[in-house]
Amino acid sequence: MSKTNELPMPKFTKVRYKAWALDRMTPSNEKTENSYFLSNEQGIEISGISTTYYQLDQELIDQGVILMSVIDAQKKHSELFERLRGQVVFDETDQLTYQNAHQFNTGIFLYIPSHVTVHDVLHLTLNQLATSEADFVARILIYVGDNASVNILQTLNTIGNKVTKASIVVEVIASESSSVQFNSIDALKENTSAYINRQADVRSHAQLDWHNVAFNDGQVVTNLVSQLNGENAISHANVIAITHKKQTQGFVTKVINYGRHSVGHIFQRGVILNRSNLIFNGVGKIIKGAKGSDAQQESRVLMLSRHARGDANPLLLIDENDVTAGHAASVGRIDAEQLYYLMSRGLSEKTARKLVIRGFMGDVLAKMPTKASKQYVIQAIESKLIDEDK
């Protein structure tokens, strides 16, 4: 671990997170028999370091699909796992990637061979057991082969309420002509300070879309990156976030166009309540030679409290002439006229706000792949609003 000191901390512009001490973690070995969320879905649930739920169609197993905890993967498919790991998020990028690479002791491995289509939504549920003071250090590694396709719902949850830290690194390889819908709901609890880093290697003619619902209650920095490494690679990186109470959530959402005619769109929507902070950094980067590529981004923040702080910082870094690019960013308050209009039809202020917020986040909400996940998002918006003293 000597190296950690030489590497920089990752950069989250305008987010002050040093005091969270995310570079010092002690991985937890908490185990359990309980599964907390899944009961008859396709997928896997990992709680602490235990696999507490597993279900995968025999047909998929026969086609060579691998779904298991990283602990099992390191035993049963160690060569494959080690070959793929660290290809998208390099171990030595910064202190936090280095730390995760050397300390993770739980997580999920998913391998989908070429030409395999997974029809059902695949649930990847990762639960931090905050029942001791130790931290949660997890890794998710996903390989999707050529022409394969999958729709994933990955959730992050906290069980228990001890004061802890968490580091979660997710690597996705979307091989040529594959299609990946990566939906995630981050719902870590108030006492967990976390670093989340999701990155995808999107190869030629592949499409990978993120729909990230960032509804954590604690202090969190999130890095979401699509590397468009092949010709015609496409990625839409969509994020919705709510911050409340005194929490801070900071984001760097980034798409890098390496491939010709690659398309990267960032879309972020955030709502800020109480005394919380929400910072969206959007980065669109086009590398020289990525002719005909497209980088667009839109980040909007809605402040529902006078004491809140919000930022939306767009950044376009373009080294190629033959491209299209654009950005829009805004930080606004809920429009008093809109609220008045809704209330003049009899809606209480609370209901009116809820409708406006839900509407504000509607595009990503609509993309949630299951009824349960949609319902969760709606429910979570309501419960965060309840805490708002108005």
Partner 1 sequence: MTTLKIENLHVTVADKEILKGVNLIVKTGEIHAIMGPNGTGKSTLSQAIMGHPAYQVTQGSIYLDDKNLSEMSVDERARAGLFLAMQYPSEIQGVTNAEFMRAAINARRDEHNQIDIMTFIRKLDEKRAFLSMTEEMAERYLNEGFSGGEKKRNEILQMMMIEPKIAILDEIDSGLDIDALKVVSRGVNHMRSDDFGTLMITHYQRLLDYIVPDFVHVMMGGRIVKTGGAEMAKKLEDEGYAGLRDELGLDITLTDEDAD
Residues that bind partner 1 in the complex, under the rule CB under 8 A? 335-338, 340-349, 351-352, 355-356, 358-363
For residue 384, report the phi and psi dihedrals to the nearest 5 degrees: -70, -30
Q: How would you classify the pairing of strands 66-69 and 106-112?
A: antiparallel
Closest distance to partner 1 from the beta carbon of 354 (Å): 9
For residue 235, report the phi and psi dihedrals to the nearest 5 degrees: -145, 135
CB proximity list for 114: less than 8 A, separation 6 or greater: 145, 146, 147, 148, 175
Closest distance to partner 1 from the beta carbon of 390 (Å): 12
Closest distance to partner 1 from the beta carbon of 176 (Å): 36
Nearer to partner 1, 348 or 383 (CB): 348
Nearer to partner 1, 90 or 341 (CB): 341
C-alpha dihedral (132, 135, 136, 139), degrees to nearest 10: -150
Nearer to partner 1, 9 or 339 (CB): 339
Nearer to partner 1, 140 or 329 (CB): 329
Closest distance to partner 1 from the beta carbon of 362 (Å): 4
Tell me the one-letter amino acid at 166.
A
Closest distance to partner 1 from the beta carbon of 267 (Å): 13
Tell me the one-letter amino acid at 93.
T
Per-residue tokens: 127? 């639960």
| Residue matched to tokens 């009824």 | 371
Closest distance to partner 1 from the beta carbon of 206 (Å): 30
Nearest to 291 by CA among 261, 255, 326, 318: 261
3-class state of residue 186 by DSSP:
strand
- Please state, in angstroms and rounded to a whole number, the distance separating the CA atoms of residues 146 and 115: 6
Nearer to partner 1, 168 or 356 (CB): 356
Closest distance to partner 1 from the beta carbon of 365 (Å): 9
Nearer to partner 1, 347 or 380 (CB): 347
**Beta-ladder partners of 310:** 278
- Please state, in angstroms and rounded to a whole number, the distance separating the CA atoms of residues 229 and 200: 10
Exposed / middle / buried, residue 120 (Cβ in 10 Å: 0-12, 13-18, 19+)? middle
Nearer to partner 1, 82 or 335 (CB): 335
> Secondary structure of 76-134 in the HEC alphabet?
HCHHHHHHHCCCCCCCCCCHHHHHHHHHCCEEEEEEECCCCECCCCEEEEEEEECCCCC
Cβ distance 297 to 266 under 8 Å? yes
Per-residue tokens: 123? 């649930």
Closest distance to partner 1 from the beta carbon of 351 (Å): 6
Nearer to partner 1, 220 or 377 (CB): 377
Nearer to partner 1, 33 or 337 (CB): 337
Closest distance to partner 1 from the beta carbon of 347 (Å): 5
Element (DSSP H or E) covering residue 159: strand 149-159
33-36, Cβ contacts within 8 angstroms, sequence gap of 24 or more? 36/125, 36/127, 36/157, 36/159
